[in-house]
Structure 1
């Protein structure tokens, strides 16, 4: 018996392709994905994560640490500005005098 490609057989063939293609894709993607799609060191090391403080004492200590870091940075930048010959207090006074002059007019 010779096989002919009749419209009915064509529809059956198309249906088989429509059904098997997604199943084949799912099998390809779903099988052994750890070996093919593994990204080494994707998740960070738990020892290096930052955990926010939850205890009120720890919160106050963290706020104080942040305040000290901010003050140290400010002092470092002011020292660097002085070394470069920039005086921020003189500029602040000049801006204050300019604003007072504009308010008087």
Structure 2
């Protein structure tokens, strides 16, 4: 007679949702300042080459900020989904005895 056992364990994790509202607000403010600078550059009477370089740089920075905003929103969404309580009990074991 052979007896084999299989045991498995699982643990529950409580994820806490981190509030990223402040980070989002700061990023939004940065974006607004960059957009304001972009308007000022567009309205300036600078040399067109310099103006174009500044516009491209500001647009690139705005795009980076928008990407960061999106990442923070996605992270916040994922953390909210993961914050739901997990119903698995800690260190449960099941033993299966097989008689052959």
Give TM-score scaled by structure 1 length.
Answer: 0.35
- Larger radius of gyration, structure 1 or 2? 1
Please identify which structure carries the higher helix content. Answer: 1
Length-normalised TM-score, structure 2 = 0.36
